[in-house]
Amino acid sequence: MKIVAIELYEMPVKLKEPFVISLGSFEYAENVVVVIRTDEGLSGFGECSPFMPIHGESMETCMVVGRYLATALMGQDPLQIELCTEWLDKVIYGNSCIKSAFDIALYDIAAQKAKLPLYAFLGGKAGKEMATDYTVSLDEPSKMAEDALKIVRAGFPVIKIKLGGSYERDMERVGKIRTAVGPDIPLRIDANQGWDTATAIRLLRDLHPFGIEHCEEPIPKWNFLELPAVRQQSLIPLMADESCNDHHDAARLIHLGACDQLNIKLGKSGGLFKALKIIELAEEAEMELQVGGFLESRLGFTASAHLALKSPNIIYFDFDTPLMFTEDPVSGGIQYGRNGNIALPDGIGLGAWIDADYLRKLKSVRIG
């Protein structure tokens, strides 16, 4: 089998409300869809959602770099995923976000060729119950409490709270949310690197009485050498996010004893190939995992859901952002049920795609 054409599409989708974290505010999901066509008639779909302050990539840079990557893959066998990954990494350093869209499309083709659902092709098993949390964006404490109450009333089982401000304001945010939603619903917090070490340690002690399941990325990712000290003094389990991109980062963090859990996002790891290596390391270390994402549509999160069936160590699911879109351009793919439950498609491959009529409306580039 050979790759005969690759298409790249800019797919910006407006959000219902701005998505706000300590690193910035986002009004659009500025995503890129990659479609890989083969000489046997199989086509694979992939998607990425670049966050400039995290990836160092944008929708525009993904389109530019994507041309280089597509040119390198032309004529290659899409079933040779390890070799294709090596080709992509030789073309350009980093750029994990756009590489992840190519990776997902390659795996879609490979699973279709094997006549297996993607999760089965990855070695996963059906039957795991998955329910997504829902995120409260960073805002004034009273507004965040109102938003959290709406999430509870909508039936979601867990609330994720974006933090990353001052000690006083973040204490107020969590306190008002807990008062609004009552004592029973689990809360998770995510500072997105927003605290210095001293503030992180103080908050991770003082927020403990509010029943916090874990905290993602409390301090700047470049300061990962201080994560072990933060972890030792924290009363809340730490989950590495921005400091854990690929398997090399995961190995380093595990070696340092820097965190209790790891958050896998395909846009950070460069796709499924390297994400599987993170899972292997976590299983060896008996570490719990979360699978999450950025602002991908149901297309990208369908790939994440397939991955989430790979290991029993994956027990946390952060798949909520497609529910924030003003439109849903995806056919097939995961479906959201009651109480945030996630259902995967039954067919072979990824099982999610963008209809040709919708793609024709988008700005695109074709190689081949």
Active site members: 162, 190, 216, 241, 265
Contacts of 361 (CB under 8 A, 6+ apart): none
Q: Distance between alpha carbon 154 and the CA centroid of its chain, in Å?
A: 22
Spatial CA neighbour of 242 closest among 304, 191, 167: 191
| Burial classification of residue 101, based on how many CB atoms lie within 10 Å of its CB (0-12 exposed, 13-18 middle, 19 or more buried) | buried
SS3 163: coil
SS3 299: helix
The one-character DSSP state at 22 is T
Angle between helices 298-308 and 272-284 in degrees, nearest 10 = 30
For the record, the structure tokens of 15 come out as 């959000």
- 187 beta partners: 159, 212
Residue 207 burial (CB count, 10 A): 24
For the record, the structure tokens of 317 come out as 């699911």
Q: State residue 239 phi and psi, 5-degree precision.
A: -115, 125
Spatial CA neighbour of 256 closest among 220, 280, 232: 232
Q: State residue 55 phi and psi, 5-degree precision.
A: -80, -30
- Give long-range contacts, CB 8 A cutoff, 24+ apart: 147-154: 148/177, 148/180, 148/181, 149/180, 149/181, 151/181, 152/181, 152/182, 152/185
SS3 216: strand
